[in-house]
Chains A and B, each alone.
Chain A
Amino acid sequence: MHVPDGVLPFWVYILFLIISLPVLGFAVRNVNRRFDDRLTPYMGVLAAVIFAAQFVNFPVPPASGHLVGTTLLAVMLGPWAAMVIMALVLFVQALYGDGGLIAFGLNFFNMGILGAIFGWGIALVLFKGLTRIQDEKISVLIATAIAAFVTTLGTAFILGLELLTIPGLSFEFVYIITGIHGFIALGEAILTFAILLYFVKAKPKLIAFLKDSDTGKALGVKMSATPIVTIEEGT
């Protein structure tokens, strides 16, 4: 899903830089307000986990896909921290030639902003519904996997629309890129489920959706005890 430099018209890259950079600034400000430095080692480790996970391609003939991980991060740390981590990962990847430096705004918009907002929102709605009938740990796993699937598919559709700015590309391209991402989204859901299962077993306090979560407390979010989401300023 990484768009390199030189593919889309230059004005598209600039437009997305103008859109994405203020959002990134807003996300940084939110992290500053809500997280304390006890959580920073985990954020660093999660950034490294996502960076490493994106190295691994799974085959989707005739192409291939890899984990994006934004939904996973959003469920664990909230959408703002997820955006900041994705921005860091995408920046280092751009230095490696994976995705472009000028295309950073576009890639961050697709994988950071859209992924975090939709992934978080869909997972939250599903999680609240599932906790009425299921244990919260099972609920968070199922909700996150489904959200990861839907978000990847939706993001691919948006990416297809963005690619239509390339002269000569027909709308059929959008169907194809979305269709192939159906299989990639399935891989995303499975990998998200597997990684989250590890954290649910090993360190459930890191998952913001679960009660008594350290990150949940940092975000001021109460999930399973009550279906109401409250933001407590200054906590």
Chain B
Amino acid sequence: MDRNTVVRVIIPAIIVLFALISVLILTGFASGNPDGFEWSLFEWAGITEPEGGFGGIFAFLGEGPLVDVVTGGIGIVLILIIAYLFFRFTSRRTE
């Protein structure tokens, strides 16, 4: 990745996404994980939510808007790095 791409694409994208997701989480518009859509229907159908399961790697931090902002920000950077590395190694090299 050349320096221009980092400066023009990656850094602004991270900043904008982080700012956006922070505002949305703190103003209460972001979803809880997992979102409640299926559960509300299951409850309607008389099926109880299964116990426990994998609560996520950040479950130890507890819940709250601030935790969501921090973990959301980490997630954005994490997926960007994973996706970049993944595509970097699975794409053809420029001739």
Q: Is the CB of A96 within 8 A of B75?
A: yes
Tell me whether A32 and B29 are in contact (CB under 8 A).
no
Chief secondary structure at chain B's binding surface: helix
Chain B residue nearest to A95 in the complex (CB): B57
Whether the pair B91, A36 counts as a contact (CB closer than 8 A) is yes
Interface size grouping (class) on chain A: 35 or more
Please give, as numbers and ranges, the residues of chain B lying within 8 Å of A51 by CB-CB distance.
75-76, 79
Answer whether A166 and B79 are a contact pair too, CB < 8 Å, given A66-B35, A98-B33.
no
User: In the complex, what distance in Å separates the CA atom of A33 from the CA atom of B93?
Assistant: 10
Residue among A4, A5, A31 facing the most chain B CB atoms (10 A cut-off): A4
Cα A3 to Cα B39 in complex, Å, equals 10
**A168 contacts the other chain (CB 8 A):** yes
Is A205 in the interface zone, CB < 8 Å from B?
no
A64 touching B83, Cβ below 8 Å: no
Question: B40 contacts which of A42, A63, A93, A97 (Cβ < 8 Å)?
Answer: A63
Residue pair A96, B47 in contact (C-beta under 8 Å): no
**Contact residue among B17, B46, B87 (Cβ-Cβ distance under 8 Å from A40):** B87
Cα A52 to Cα B91 in complex, Å, equals 24
A-B contact count (CB 8 A): 175
A-contacting residues, B25-62, CB 8 Å? 25, 29-31, 33-38, 40-42, 44-47, 50, 52-59
**B83 touching A88, Cβ below 8 Å:** yes
The interface residues of chain A lying within 8 Å CB-to-CB of B42 are 7
A43 to B91: give the CA distance in the assembly, Å: 11
B31 touches A55 (CB 8 A): yes
Which residues does chain B contribute within 8 Å of A7, judged by CB atoms? 38, 42, 50
Does B1 lie within 8 Å of A92, measured CB to CB? no
Contact A44 B83 (CB under 8 A): yes
Offer 20 A-B interface pairs, CB within 8 angstroms, sorted by A: A1-B38, A3-B38, A4-B34, A6-B52, A7-B38, A36-B93, A40-B87, A45-B80, A48-B13, A52-B20, A52-B21, A54-B31, A55-B25, A56-B24, A60-B37, A65-B35, A66-B35, A92-B79, A93-B33, A97-B55
Chain A residues close to B by CB (< 8 Å):
1-7, 28, 31-49, 51-52, 54-58, 60, 62-66, 84-85, 88-89, 92-101, 166, 168-170, 173, 176-177, 180, 184
Known: A41-B1, A88-B79. 9 other contacts (CB 8 A): A7-B38, A7-B42, A44-B10, A44-B80, A44-B81, A45-B10, A57-B30, A62-B40, A92-B78
